[in-house]
């Protein structure tokens, strides 16, 4: 089910000042996709989610779900949350401690007045789907964090919504359990004909789960794209920096040649992905650390070969993280453990033009 948002605004007043939580948001969330709202704390992503579900009242704009208007300032429409046909999974799980697992999951169906035999069949089927068979009689709060999260997911799914919304649902789990639950969540939802809207500030979650990502900042959507587009080929400097660690170097466009854009910067003359940029314009050269290829021997053949010195070296498990001094610039690099280097060593760096991204914004 598609979600369409037009001109959505939401302001809060804090200490006498008006804060624009949502600043004229226009957004279409395609049906049956896993769509993530990503951004730093305070950017408006949770407010947008709560407006969709009906827990916040916008100041302006319109929201349509499956073509039906559920909120419109101009038309005076405000469909209550329980009539929007949505499922919701909260950051805190919202598990009722006085209820069993079965009763927690059954609650939406009980409120809807469904027959007891229908409720039991749907709850047991959903428990099987989220791999919690046999725990229906246990107190929900006696389960592990990962199991409680699955109870919350089951409760959102049992009413068979066409849209399910997630507000940072994995943030309370430890790192290992968060990774396991993330994989389970993606597998569960890939088997359903459902639209998922997911709020997070965790870039790894966004990249691993999403079909599409909308990056937000200060109440606005900065950029929308696939995880691969957002990570490898962002259009905005803020997006490239927020979605992952990146070397960002001020540069000036000097040529367009052989299908590449050439810039001059603190690394020297660097050939980059082709961008339609005027000569002489100032840009930002963006290079991910994993694409800074470091060798301990001198390399003089190839494109974008520069020489540097290892300023710092830190072993983090699968790689070394290094800072390489090149003139006045310092490049963050991820070096394979097989490359024998130490702090103070002279090294050669090669930068593939395909991974040298130019950002004008």
pLDDT value of residue 301: 63
How confident is the model over 331-348, as pLDDT tens digits? 999 998 888 889 999 999
| 204: CB partners within 8 A, 6+ apart | none
Whether residue 216 is found in the same domain as residue 110 = yes
Q: For 32-36, 111-115, 163-167, which range has the lowest pLDDT when averaged over its residues?
A: 111-115
CATH number at residue 205: 3.40.50.300
Q: How many domains does the chain have?
A: 2
Q: Which strands sit side by side in the sheet containing 60-65, from one edge to the other?
A: 17-29, 3-14, 60-65, 68-72, 77-78
Whether residue 200 is found in the same domain as residue 306 = no
* C-beta separation of 303 from 259 below 8 A: no
Task: Give the model's confidence band at 254: pLDDT under 50 very low, under 70 low, under 90 confident, else very high.
Answer: very high
Task: State pTM to two decimals.
Answer: 0.86
* More confidently predicted of 176 and 127: 127
Q: How far apart are CA 335 and CA 191, in angstroms?
A: 38
Whether residue 101 is found in the same domain as residue 230 = yes
Task: Give the model's confidence band at 108: pLDDT under 50 very low, under 70 low, under 90 confident, else very high.
Answer: confident
| Domain boundary pick from 210, 242, 274 | 242
Q: For 24-38, 115-129, 203-217, which range has the lowest pLDDT when averaged over its residues?
A: 115-129
The neighbouring-strand residues paired with 268 are 265
CATH number at residue 299: 2.40.50.140
Mean pLDDT of 241-255: 94
Whether residue 169 is found in the same domain as residue 260 = no
pLDDT value of residue 20: 93
Backbone angles phi, psi at 323, to 5 degrees: -110, 125
Whether residue 210 is found in the same domain as residue 88 = yes
How confident is the model over 62-74, as pLDDT tens digits? 999 999 999 999 9
| Domain boundary pick from 183, 216, 242 | 242
pLDDT value of residue 300: 62
Over 70: is that where the pLDDT of 361 sits? no
Domain that holds residue 34: 3-242
Whether residue 214 is found in the same domain as residue 253 = no
| Domain boundary pick from 195, 226, 242 | 242
Whether residue 235 is found in the same domain as residue 260 = no
């Amino acid at each position: 089910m598609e979600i369409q948002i037009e001109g959505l605004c939401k302001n809060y007043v804090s200490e006498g000042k008006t804060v624009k939580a949502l600043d004229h948001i226009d957004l279409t969330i395609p049906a049956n996709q896993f769509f993530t709202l990503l951004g730093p704390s305070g950017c408006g992503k949770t407010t947008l989610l709560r407006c969709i579900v009906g827990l916040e009242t916008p100041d302006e704009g319109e929201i349509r779900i499956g073509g039906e208007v559920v909120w419109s300032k101009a038309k005076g429409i405000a469909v209550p949350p329980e009539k929007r046909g949505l499922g919701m999974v909260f950051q805190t799980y919202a598990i009722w401690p006085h209820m069993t697992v079965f009763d927690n999951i059954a609650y939406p169906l009980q409120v809807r007045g469904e027959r007891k035999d229908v409720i039991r069949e749907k709850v047991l089927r959903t428990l099987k789907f989220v791999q919690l068979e046999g725990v229906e009689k246990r107190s929900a709060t006696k389960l592990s964090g990962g199991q409680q999260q699955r109870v919350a997911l089951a409760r959102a799914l049992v009413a068979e919504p066409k849209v399910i919304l997630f507000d940072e649902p994995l943030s309370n789990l430890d790192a290992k359990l968060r990774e396991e639950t993330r994989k389970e969540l993606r597998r569960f939802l890939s088997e359903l004909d459902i639209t998922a809207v997911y709020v997070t500030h965790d870039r790894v979650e966004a990249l691993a789960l999403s079909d599409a990502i909308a990056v937000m900042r200060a109440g606005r959507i900065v950029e929308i794209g696939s995880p691969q587009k957002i990570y490898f080929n962002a259009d905005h400097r803020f997006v490239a920096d927020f979605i992952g660690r990146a070397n960002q170097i001020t540069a000036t466009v000097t040529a367009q040649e052989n299908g590449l854009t050439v810039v001059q910067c603190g690394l020297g003359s660097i050939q980059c992905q082709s961008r339609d940029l005027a000569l002489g314009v100032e840009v930002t050269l963006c290079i991910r650390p994993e694409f800074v290829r470091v060798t301990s021997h001198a390399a003089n053949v190839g494109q974008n070969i520069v020489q540097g010195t290892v300023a710092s070296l830190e072993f983090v498990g699968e790689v070394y993280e290094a800072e390489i001094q090149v003139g006045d610039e310092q490049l963050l690099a991820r070096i394979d453990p097989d490359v024998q280097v130490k702090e103070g060593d002279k090294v050669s760096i090669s930068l593939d033009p395909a991974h040298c991204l130019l950002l004008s914004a």
